């Protein structure tokens, strides 16, 4: 596992470098589903063969990589059957994504919302879990943005750092779970306006 050294400021808030390092975990719903299918196939393959490695043809057909390929091939060929099990899938995949305590950004949460929301009721437990975790991670993203603003002297720097923060955290362009991300940026820019006007008129 790749070791990433996080740099923490004195009050323990994630810095820009930690936010960038958070992009390493592959927590997209499809990535988590692929890993889940692979692990299940690996355990089944091991138990069926009694723990003995073999290169027989029937064994290769049940090998984990083949099982993953067959699983996603079936989903592509029969989309209706994939949609029919979306609720069961959400019960498995969403807790894995939301349960991650470190390295979780907004991107996989937004992806999970897009993946499962069209197929679940609005009050479904999986969606509630996504929204609750989104609100928590959004607070971390906004704290990180405040750290990025330190030392900025011009509105252009503020906007550039805001955009980079959005990219690093995978922030959506529209509001989600009732959260309007980075809503305080307008106020920050307003405070910079007199300084910028004075600089341009000098």
Query: pLDDT per residue over 144-164, tens digit each?
Result: 988 988 888 788 888 888 899
Q: Percentage of residues in the chain with pLDDT exceeding 70?
A: 75
Q: Give kind and range of the element (H or E) at residue 108.
A: helix 106-116
Overall average pLDDT of the 121-138 stretch? 95
Higher pLDDT, 184 or 22: 184
Q: Is the pLDDT of residue 34 over 60?
A: yes
Q: Rounded to whole angstroms, what are the CA distances from 141 to 133, 152, 154?
A: 12, 18, 21
The pLDDT value recorded for residue 3 is 34
Contact 129, 136 (CB under 8 A): no
Contact 93, 36 (CB under 8 A): yes
Contact 100, 78 (CB under 8 A): no
- Tell me the torsion sign for CA atoms 155, 159, 160, 165: positive
Q: Which residues pair with 8 in a beta bridge?
A: 14
- Measured in whole angstroms, the distance separating CA 23 from the mean position of its chain's CA atoms is 8
CA distance 29 to 16: 25
Higher pLDDT, 62 or 82: 82
The pLDDT value recorded for residue 188 is 73
Mean pLDDT value across the chain: 79
The pLDDT value recorded for residue 24 is 52
Higher pLDDT, 17 or 40: 40
Contact 172, 135 (CB under 8 A): no
């Amino acid at each position: 596992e790749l070791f990433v050294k996080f740099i923490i400021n004195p009050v323990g808030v994630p810095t820009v470098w930690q936010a960038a390092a958070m992009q390493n975990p592959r927590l997209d719903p499809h990535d988590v589903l692929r890993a889940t299918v692979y692990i299940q196939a690996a355990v089944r393959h091991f138990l069926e063969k009694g723990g003995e490695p073999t290169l027989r043809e029937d064994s290769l057909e049940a090998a984990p990589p083949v099982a993953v390929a067959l699983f996603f091939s079936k989903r592509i060929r029969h989309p209706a059957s994939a949609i029919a099990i979306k609720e069961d899938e959400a019960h498995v995949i969403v807790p894995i994504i939301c349960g991650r305590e470190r390295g979780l950004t907004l991107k996989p949460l937004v992806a999970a919302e897009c993946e499962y929301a069209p197929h679940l009721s609005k009050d479904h437990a999986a969606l509630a879990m996504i929204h609750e975790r989104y609100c928590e991670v959004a607070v971390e993203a906004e704290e990180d943005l405040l750290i990025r603003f330190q030392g900025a002297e011009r509105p252009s720097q503020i906007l550039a750092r805001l955009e980079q923060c959005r990219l690093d955290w995978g922030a959506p362009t529209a509001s989600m779970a009732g959260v309007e991300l980075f809503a305080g940026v307008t106020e920050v820019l307003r405070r910079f306006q007199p300084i910028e006007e004075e600089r341009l008129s000098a």
